[in-house]
Amino acid sequence: MEKSGRRNTILIVFIFIALFAATAFLLVNWIKSAEVFNFVRPFTVEVTNDSEYDIVSLEFGLLKGESKETLDKIIASGSKARFIPNLDLTSENAVYLKFRDARGEGGELTVCGYTEYLNGMTRVRINEKEAVVEEMDCF
């Protein structure tokens, strides 16, 4: 009788640990997907390239001032990439993105309309016809 009691106790502890681990895993994934902490993360831009052409050049910069960063990173057609622009913010400002594809075509758009801290996230989708900011959540 004592062995079965010990087995039941071990089984209950194992089930409790498994449930705790599963709950923690689901909670962490929910927090990441809900982007609950956008206001404290460094400003991040996710660019999705829905164009038939690779994006070959990106420039991030502040609308007021000289701070900008040019990246020669290729975003292949059909893929996406995330960037954390390295900009020097001294007061409230806005952030732009200039891009160019393999044909030499490009554009410019505002990826953060107002920021005091360069925190948050923006999602941009680029295709042959247009570049669209799908989500702008910057602080």
Contact indicator for 121, 138 with CB cutoff of 8 Å = yes
- What is the sign, positive or negative, of the torsion defined by CA atoms of 69, 113, 64, 116? negative
Structure-block tokens of residue 51: 């164009």
The pTM for the full model equals 0.76
Provide the number of structural domains found in the chain. Answer: 2
In the predicted model, what is the mean pLDDT of the chain?
A: 91
Closest CA to 74 of 101, 100, 56: 56
Same structural domain for residues 12 and 27? yes
Structure-block tokens of residue 67: 């701070």
Domain of 111?
41-138
Structure-block tokens of residue 27: 């909670």
Same structural domain for residues 30 and 50? no
**Cβ partners under 8 Å of residue 83, min gap 6:** 44, 45, 46, 47, 58, 60, 71, 73
**Cβ–Cβ contacts within 10 Å for residue 45, how many?**
23
Write down the residue that tokens 């039941």 correspond to: 8
**Region of residue 23 (left: phi > 0; alpha: psi -120 to 50; beta: else):** alpha
Same structural domain for residues 64 and 123? yes
CATH of residue 80's domain is 2.60.40.2890
CA distance 49 to 92: 29
What is the separation of C-alpha 43 from the centre of its chain, rounded to a whole number of angstroms? Answer: 8
pLDDT in tens, 94-109: 999 999 999 999 999 9
What is the separation of C-alpha 74 from the centre of its chain, rounded to a whole number of angstroms? Answer: 17
Residue 41 predicted with pLDDT over 90: no
pLDDT in tens, 56-105: 999 999 999 999 999 989 999 999 999 999 999 999 999 999 999 999 99
Side-chain half-sphere CA neighbours of 7 within 13 A: 4
Same structural domain for residues 20 and 82? no
CA distance 71 to 35: 26
Same structural domain for residues 55 and 12? no
pLDDT band of 123, cuts 50, 70, 90:
very high
pLDDT band of 35, cuts 50, 70, 90:
low
pLDDT band of 120, cuts 50, 70, 90:
very high
pLDDT > 90 fraction of the chain, expressed in percent and rounded: 76
